[in-house]
Amino acid sequence: MTAKILDGNAFSAKVREGLAVRAAALKAAGVTPCLAVILVGDDAASAVYVRNKVAACEKAGMRSLKFVYPSDIEPAVVFAKIAELNADPGVHGILVQLPLPKRFDSDAVLEAISPEKDVDGFHAENVGALVQGNPRFIPCTPYGVMEMLKSEGVKLAGAEAVIVGRSNIVGKPMAMLLLAESCTVTVCHSRTADLAFHTRRADILIAAVGRAKMITGDMIKPGAAVIDVGINRQADGKLCGDVDFESAKEVAGLITPVPGGVGPMTITMLLANTLESAERVAAERQPEKAHK
């Protein structure tokens, strides 16, 4: 048996088509969805991510604003810009690209963003809402993973789901989303004893730990859905995931490749969150118009 390979690029393009239609409808109603991105420093990977996010916005018919600061900028300048964007009714989403220079308190920066514009879903208020099962914004990568699983008709209720990785960005919110779908969830990490024991039980296995090819085919339950969130650069410069794709695809029922799997969905769901934020603003305007 060879696994079905889930093409993230193709699925992402399909989702973005739907987002573009919704964005056009909003613009016709007088609201243009707008994402503001702040980049501090000269990290090459971050610059690429920001460029891709801005391009994706424009292609989907959304407005994008980009603010780039040198790595030696005073944090007060960035906080002032965030405050300005929080107060701007024409901005529906604010994203500060991580990582920030070491002089910055990243948590303080993320908390400075209005929860109503925190389209990354990292603000403590939004994390709390997710845990309570009533999310305002779902963190983009886990959001994308859930959309991919649902699109393939993967059985969620009652499934054994194992997540390798406990980060605030992927592992923890992923666990909350799977629990909300009635999965039985196990979160593994660097100190998990006998990792393979847990991964072999998984109907749904999500690797998000940042270690190249650490999940091999003999660690996977036959027929499992394997979602590889990891992105690692090998000695030859090529990218690979946390899953050893070649051995895993011979055992899994469904698998995402790296690159071209989960990655494209992360930016797509960022657009979705920004659009949802703009739609909330438009809905709030309707009573005002009716009153007039």
Positions marked active-site: 53, 97, 120
Is 204 in contact with 178 (CB distance < 8 Å)?
yes
What does the block give as tokens for 117?
A: 């514009």
State the first-to-last Cα distance of the chain, in angstroms, to the nearest integer: 64
Amino acid at 233: R
Phi, psi (degrees; rounded to nearest 5) at 148: -70, -45
Which DSSP category does 232 fall into?
E
| CA nearest to 161, candidates 125, 208, 91 | 208
* Spatial distance between the Cα atoms of 267 and 273, rounded to a whole number of angstroms: 10
* Spatial distance between the Cα atoms of 165 and 227, rounded to a whole number of angstroms: 12
Q: Which residue has the tokens 């997540």?
A: 163
Is 218 in contact with 246 (CB distance < 8 Å)?
no
* Spatial distance between the Cα atoms of 32 and 180, rounded to a whole number of angstroms: 32
* Spatial distance between the Cα atoms of 93 and 277, rounded to a whole number of angstroms: 7
